[in-house]
Chains A and B, each alone.
Chain A
Amino acid sequence: AQKITQTQPGMFVQEKEAVTLDCTYDTSDQSYGLFWYKQPSSGEMIFLIYQGSYDEQNATEGRYSLNFQKARKSANLVISASQLGDSAMYFCAMRAGSARQLTFGSGTQLTVLP
């Protein structure tokens, strides 16, 4: 079975500061992929960043980086220089082994303060 745990229901960050959103995962598969999606109040899930289990380098996409610690089974999202538009729900998700679908965590509501 695959499981994603996001322990922070809500987070606040001051504009222009960095913030880390936590994600831990559980799978017995050696091959898996970790995803972060952003869901603003409009409802659409927006893909942010991907990390494969075999990738040696931590993934980065602009202001987003993924702090991948395989031994700890964690895949935390780091957002640098927060902007007001970053306020949204953030979901960590995983696809593992032969599974076709993503398994999502319960999400973290991020609020960026001016």
Chain B
Amino acid sequence: GAGVSQSPRYKVAKRGQDVALRCDPISGHVSLFWYQQALGQGPEFLTYFQNEAQLDKSGLPSDRFFAERPEGSVSTLKIQRTQQEDSAVYLCASSPSPPGYLRSGANVLTFGAGSRLTVL
């Protein structure tokens, strides 16, 4: 597609419910990132995929968070037993190649509009 698409745009969940957030990256993009953005803050890294391989999940805040990208395209971020502190905007971003060396250029990320999760 023309851009990174995320769904749902808005999700309200009761505490304890499981949620799944979907990301459709730009077709052919190798790299895919998930970020969490709390209200009034900058995005914080959650996890990184290179094709279908999850190479870095160091930013996932707890074992209730799980991400997958089984065929190297669409990715799903799943949050189990949601808590109020999980309320945030979840941003997905993709780029055509792996991050690589900075001397090679910016490897700019294209972001989606995000999924706003509110946990009551």
Contact = CB atoms under 8 A, between A and B. Distances in A.
Nearest to B98: A100
Size class of the contact patch on chain A: 20 to 34
Contacts of B91: 45
A45 B111 CA distance: 6
Contact of B110 (A4, A32, A47, A105): A47
Contacts of A32: 102
A101 B56 contact: yes
Interface in B43-60: 43-45, 48, 55-56, 59
B102 A33 contact: yes
B25 interface: no
Contacts, number: 70
B106 A33 contact: yes
A95 B102 contact: yes
Contacts of B44: 104
B99 A95 contact: yes
A56 interface: no
B59 A101 contact: yes
Contacts of A104: 42-44
B101 A105 contact: no
A102 interface: yes
B19 interface: no
Contacts of A33: 102, 106
Contact of B48 (A35, A44, A46, A101): A101
Contacts of A95: 99, 102
A43 to B, nearest CB: 5
Given A47-B109, A47-B110, A100-B99, A106 B45 contact: no
Nearest to A109: B40
B43 A45 contact: yes
B36 to A, nearest CB: 11
Pick the 6 closest A-B CB pairs, nearest first. Answer: A104-B42, A45-B111, A50-B106, A101-B45, A100-B99, A44-B113
